[in-house]
Amino acid sequence: MKKLPKDTSKIISYIMNKMNNNPDLIIKKLNFNSNQIAIIFNENMVSSKTINDFILEPLTENNINKKIDNILEYLKTYIPTTKMIEINNYEDLITYLLNGYTIILIDNYSVCLGIETKNILDSGISPAENEKTLKGPKDAFTENYQTNIGLIRKRLKYENLKLFNKSIGTIGKSMVGVMYIEEITNKKLVNKIINKIDKIKIEAVFDVNQIIEIISENEKNVIPNFLTTERPDYAAMQLLEGKIVIILENTPFVAIVPAFITDFFHTPEDMYNRPINASINRLIRFIAFILTILTPALYIALTTYNHETIPEDLIINLSIQRNGVPFSTIIEAILMILTFEILKETDLRTSSKIGSSLSIVGSLILGNAAVAAGIVSPIMVIIIAITAISGLIVSHNDFINGIRWWRIMFLIGASLAGVIGIVIVSLIFITNLVSIKSFGYSFSYPFSPFNKKKMGNNIIISFYNRYFKHTSTSERKNI
């Protein structure tokens, strides 16, 4: 790293050349105790009130005319700030300048001072939008890096809650943080993730998912091996389970690793409700997961290949409903699923006011019109509606998108070989789940490898286990 010279004019020239004389770069020169000092900051990144009240005002007070032997130490003592650093090289100077720091250069000194004067550029703490909160805290993560760390620390006031910081990005420098509880989390896993983050070479990163995709071992699988959440209480709960939380600057979500398949069916409200009610809710989520994958495939298998399994009156009723439909059952199902996915994507990309109107048009008017026109059968509308509603019960969007592909695979298996095709695809699906690794751990845990003790509290919540029986440190390290 190139060291700073003692001539402030050379440093100013370097900064101006490096930043191409940007108009938002402000340089103010002052005479201080027979020495020249320069104050440099990026106008759009700092709070002008903070600079005026806590930097310029102390520098322009009457007592600055007295003789001062060491200007650097004087400024460090009398400038009222909670965060001040010494900078002795050009690289750190540019980095802090672009991160909302005000730089004070002093003639005849080979170091300068960096004072944090960041402006508040985020949307502030607000309720969670994607993970709806029925019980428990209402606050959610924001785009502010320090605020996100604080939201976790205020829940876990513990000295061994560790934080690793790293700036990544050659152009858009963003701070990434790795949080873990030292004596609970597997230290090898922590070192593995930190080493991978250290090796990231990228121009800029804008979302925590990008970091996970870079360091993950799951690039070719459609099912994610990590969790994302916008709820600080959920992140704190996962830290207590020996997991690692990855925080990225300017991202209102955090990533949690490693993740297991049962984690996608858990919600923070499970810990705020009575155990029996939370257990029933979890069972409903597991049932909905099976329904969203298998319902269209089972319908196609039973009506196309395995008629003997359907009561005679019902199969006659289904045949009457399909009378006049020009498409085969598999084409009919794919068209309906595709229509729903288009409506869902449209609803996501439009404003909330228009989105509700689109949902009504898509679900009611188009559905009724398609049945009346004889394009699809009424029973197919019911089947796809059950599939779509069941798929929305899980709030993790990455997981839902991954399951969407397997729903198509089950449809194809059912259309080719009926129930036997479903069984074959099920074996492939289970094999795929078992083969997924989440940062060295089996994604299918606690089903495979089977852990009877962990299996119980992952589905049926015990009051005793939840409140009184804590997992030992060694068990948590082995997750």
Across the chain, mean pLDDT equals 84
Query: Given this model, what pLDDT does residue 11 score?
Result: 93
Q: Are strands 25-32 and 35-42 parallel, antiparallel or unpaired?
A: antiparallel
- Nearest alpha-carbon partner for 423 in 332, 264, 448, 431: 431
Q: What is the rounded distance in angstroms from the CA atom of residue 331 to the CA atom of residue 304?
A: 13
Query: Given this model, what pLDDT does residue 464 score?
Result: 46
Whole-number percent of the chain with pLDDT over 70: 89
Other C-beta atoms lying within 10 Å of the C-beta of residue 159: 6
User: Which pTM was predicted?
Assistant: 0.79
pLDDT tens digits, residue range 252-307? Answer: 999 999 999 989 988 888 888 888 888 888 899 999 999 999 999 999 998 888 77
Highest mean pLDDT among 64-78, 194-208, 353-367: 194-208
In the chain, domain spans: 8-116, 145-259, 273-442
| Residue 386 C-alpha from the chain's centroid | 28
The answer to which of 222-231, 325-334, 416-425 has the lowest mean pLDDT is 325-334
Tokens 């409506």 belong to: 343
Q: What is the rounded distance in angstroms from the CA atom of residue 64 to the CA atom of residue 58?
A: 9
Which of 407-412's residues contact partners 24+ apart within 8 Å by CB, and which partners? 407/292, 407/293, 407/296, 407/297, 407/337, 408/334, 408/337, 410/293, 410/294, 410/296, 410/297, 411/296, 411/297, 411/300, 411/330, 411/333, 411/334, 411/337, 412/330
pLDDT tens digits, residue range 301-326? Answer: 988 887 777 888 887 887 788 777 88
Highest mean pLDDT among 114-123, 247-256, 346-355: 247-256
Query: Given this model, what pLDDT does residue 40 score?
Result: 94
Residue 359 pLDDT level (bands cut at 50, 70, 90): low
Residue 357 pLDDT level (bands cut at 50, 70, 90): low
